[in-house]
Structure 1
Amino acid sequence: MPSFLQSFAERFAALDAASLHRLDELYSRGVSFQDPLHRVEGLGELRRYFASLYANVQELRYDFHGFDEVAPDHGYLRWTLHYRHPRLGGGRLIALEGCSHLRWGERVEFHRDYFDAGALLYEHLPVMGGVIGWLKRRLA
């Protein structure tokens, strides 16, 4: 039988812009969600946030490769996000490594994503991406 995290990851990876109504199968009504760019409270706000994420991408896929349950009610997922956006990176497929900390009861009540916001967005903007790349090379 798959763990809670494995089951969650499979169902989360199956989401797309047309199936966001299924978020209530994964998250509690009072869910708290945070990533490096946003913080939202409640299932309705989470649905709106995800809808805005899916609105402009041409492709979006998660590959989950780590399921670390540290207690019966919380754990970490390690993942790679693959996405394509027409105004980022010349429209090419971009990969981003990250992890999620989840706490749950019957459904997920707390979800916090950890990833490099620059690698998600800023590095792929025409002017800013060049500057960030230059800074990274100088500091390495």
Structure 2
Amino acid sequence: MDVHEVAAFYQRLDKTTLSELKQIYHPNIEFQDAAHRLVGLDALQHYFEELYRNVNQCRFHIMEVFTHPEGGMITWEMELSHPKLNRGHSVTVCGVSHLKFAEGKVIYHRDYFDMGEMVYEHIPLLGHLVRATKQRLGQS
């Protein structure tokens, strides 16, 4: 297993490919993103099952893959459609995944992305405040 194989898996990830997680991830996987910290393959499996049960669509477009001997990084765009976000319309979020390997599988996976871009900007009232704050800071 290498970073390119993980990237290829994420490009085809959906609810029908979740059974393949055990081929990618180490039993002691540590997974972290802006909202979660999970330890263990069972916890990760449950996380993805819940994610795909609640979304209309979640698709990853891989932009770049960087490798080094112990792991690597993947830059991506995620297209997410959730009934409670943006009135169910698609939201695009850019992010980076940092990966480390042990025994031929991913043992550490940390995703970096802007939670505001994904969630907060699409909640009524709060979204307006987040966008206005970003404008004042010169971010958009």
Structure 1 segment 1-140 matched on structure 2, within 5 A: 4-69=2-67, 71-105=68-102, 106-140=104-138
Offset, 1:109: 0.5
Rounded Cα–Cα distance in structure 2 between residues aligned with 1:80 and 1:22: 21
Offset, 1:74: 1.2
Q: Deviations over 1:47-91 (max 9, x none)?
A: 11111211211111100111111x222111000001111111122
Q: Deviations over 1:1-36 (max 9, x none)?
A: xx8211111122222123312100100100000011
Q: TM-score, normalised by structure 1?
A: 0.92
Rounded Cα–Cα distance in structure 2 between residues aligned with 1:96 and 1:12: 15
Amino acid at match of 2:126: M
Amino acid at match of 1:77: I
Contact preservation (8 Å) 2:60, 2:77: yes
Rounded Cα–Cα distance in structure 1 between residues aligned with 2:27 and 2:82: 30
Question: What is the aligned residue count?
Answer: 137
Rounded Cα–Cα distance in structure 1 between residues aligned with 2:38 and 2:126: 27
Instruction: Give the unaligned 5+ runs of structure 1.
Output: none
Flag as ranges the 4+ runs of structure 1 deviating above 6 A.
none
